[in-house]
Amino acid sequence: MEAYQALAMAPPLLTFGGMHVLCHSCRYQVRRDFPYCLRCGTQRRKARVDQFDAPRLRRPGSAGASVAVVIKDAFTIGRSSGNDLKLDHPSVSREHARIVRQSGSYFLEDLGSLNGVRVDSGTGPRDAELIRGGKARLQDGSVVFVGDVALIFEQPRPAAVGSKTVVQTIGATMPAPAAEPVSAADALADEHAPAEPLSVTPRKRSGWALKQIPDDRGRLEWALRNTRTGAYLSLDERQVFIWNQIDGRATTRDLLFAYLEEYGELALPRIEQTLRTFAAVDLIAGLPGQNRTEHLSGRRRVLGATIKALLRMEFSVKGLDGLIERGYRRFGWWFFTRPAVLLPALVVPAGLVAFWFDRDRYRLLDTGGAGPWGGAIVLAAFFTACLLHELAHAMAVKSYGRRVNRGGFLLMMGLPFAFVDTSDMWLGSRWSRVVVALSGPLVTAEIAGGLAIGAWYSPSKTAGAILFQITFALYLNTLYNFNPLMPLDGYMALSDAMRFPRLREESRAYFTRGLWRDLRHRRRPTLKQWGMTLYGLCAILGTYGFIALGILAWNGRIGAFVHDSAPEPWAHLIIVAGIGVVLFPVWYGYYRALARLMRRIGERRIGERRPQPSAASS
């Protein structure tokens, strides 16, 4: 792998103008407008350090007070006043250590001190090796122990890079203060009493990570992750303010007045909606009705678990990150070098031209006399390409130093799909998410282009026919994944590029409700709203078309077998039941909406029949 160090340049096609390069030490991507790799601390090649801010040393717990590590010959640390950083502590020698820059990286050297130095880069201070007379590399976030004095070494962070991730580990959240003791009768009475909304005291659950992500328009955006479940939320500045105010003591009333003091408005609905959003991903506790499942019967719990499984029918495997990490370090990084990215730029167009001429030589669904073996080869090659498609997503995630939480298979509208969980990219920039979303379809198109060229030059008609069938299937798969109307790769890239993370949901909601409300009130929709209307209409039509495709696919797969195995009318009932199960996420949503409507109508009728109190009795 070291032989390709000179090739470790960022792919301009995948990074939109070459905003990133690969670190020549650890092979992860680093921005061109930042001098160091935040993962290993290595200086980027051809970066002039004097054009950027110097790294800084600060004491733990003092985020504001820090000292710039400005290196001329060296940056010295010790107890005497002649050092660049004076530490007045008995465990620190007069000339204890120094920081030097060598080969683009920073190193801490011990100067023969009595107590030595230690550098913790993530293993914990007890595991940090004691260094006497030697040196250790400093990475971003390394904790330096000069004697018994702890210092944190941090690389400079411009706004384009984003802030460090604030992590709260599991079990580390400060508990709420103990309440005054109450009697058993009062506790039983309060259990069923409706909670007064403003007196509710939400509290954070342990296991979360908060990071400010880059934004090239100057807006502040954050990503909040539940480290226990892997769920993510994209937050704005005001939602983060509410999150930071939740300390286990502040009630909703306190949050309301804090919000009023900060932003000048009483926004109780916004605060309540934000709290419900946090509760939905299990980040806070203490809201009314949050533990309703504890009082459900066993039958209703089983029913709820079954409905949850049918709504998200998937088989996933966790713990894949270590395996993918090793694959990226061994070979995956090479696909993000300049030669590897220029290759599909040549292969994809050439493959399309070859496929255009291949259609005159071969016919669809004709493997050139290969028989069943030909069909088996086509299916095996197609599924292998689909796995490579998902592997490309995973490698793109690793190139940005993020985690691949899990992977597996799922059913969407009755059709099977492979997937990898790339949600950790919410802690990265939006353009990095676009790169990850497009990497899979681009790899599929590259494979299809190579096979199309192979079919054109194949001396065997049978081999060429098989390659042509695989190529056709992969081109269909590429177009399908680029389709921005379905929640697949093309949609993810489009929503991130447009800064519209809920493009599909909000467009459909505006088309079905907002547009008609505006027209009734004679309000003219804006250009953006007309665009949402068009997209919402196309998304609805595309969804129903996809449903029809799923019905036809499943009916074709199981229809003949069921008709041969069961008599009528049981065969039709079995087919309808099977399609109903695989399309459960579709019709169950409509069933819930209809049930809510009927419940509201029933409650309105009961209220109309209820006798009104007379004036005399009141």
Q: What does the H/E/C string look like for 320-387?
A: CHHHHHHHHHHCHHHHHCHHHHHHHHHHHHHHHHHHHHHCCCCCCCCCCCCCHHHHHHHHHHHHHHHH
Rg (CA), the chain: 30
Q: What is the pLDDT of residue 52?
A: 67
Rounded Cα gap, residues 225 and 243, in angstroms = 12
pLDDT, position 253: 87
- pLDDT of the residue at 267: 83
Distance of CA 614 to the CA centre of its chain: 59
Q: Is the pLDDT of residue 389 over 70?
A: yes
Dist. CA 437–CA 439, nearest whole Å: 6
Grade residue 296 by pLDDT with cuts at 50, 70 and 90. Answer: low
Share of the chain above pLDDT 70, in %: 77
Question: What pLDDT does residue 165 have?
Answer: 56
Of the listed ranges 157-161, 273-277, 605-609, the least confidently predicted one is 157-161
pTM value is 0.69
pLDDT tens sequence across 580-598: 776 777 677 778 778 888 8
pLDDT for residue 487:
80
Confidence of residue 351 (pLDDT cuts 50, 70, 90): very high
* Bridge partners (DSSP) listed for residue 2: none
Q: Assess whether pLDDT exceeds 70 at residue 558.
A: no
pLDDT tier at 612, thresholds 50, 70, 90: low
- Which pLDDT score, from 0 to 100, does residue 168 have? 52
Provide the greatest CA pair distance for the chain: 101
Mean pLDDT of 5-20: 39
Tell me: pLDDT of 366 over 60. Answer: yes
Stretch among 153-167, 452-466, 539-553 having the lowest mean pLDDT: 153-167
Name which of 16-30, 66-80, 99-113, 402-416 the model is least confident about: 16-30
Determine whether 436 is exposed, middle or buried from the number of CB atoms within 10 Å of its CB (0-12, 13-18, 19+): buried
Residue 617 has pLDDT above 70, yes or no: no
Q: What is the pLDDT of residues 428-464, one digit of tens each?
A: 778 888 999 999 999 999 999 999 999 999 999 899 9
Instruction: Evaluate if residue 570 carries a pLDDT over 60.
Output: yes
Quote the strand ranges of 164-263, DSSP E.
166-168, 203-204, 208-213, 221-226, 232-236
Mean pLDDT for the stretch of residues 493-505: 82
Instruction: Name residues whose C-beta falls within 8 Å of residue 143's C-beta, 6 or more positions apart in sequence.
Output: 60, 119, 120, 121, 125, 128, 150, 151, 152, 153
Q: Which two tokens stand for residue 324?
A: 């993918």
Predicted pLDDT at 42? 74
Q: For the purposes of burial, counting CB atoms within 10 Å of the CB of 558, is it exposed (0-12), middle (13-18) or buried (19 or more)?
A: middle
Residue pair 224/205 in contact (Cβ under 8 Å)? The answer is no
Overall size of the chain counted in residues: 618
What pLDDT score was predicted for residue 12? 34
| In contact, 440 and 393? CB cutoff 8 Å | yes
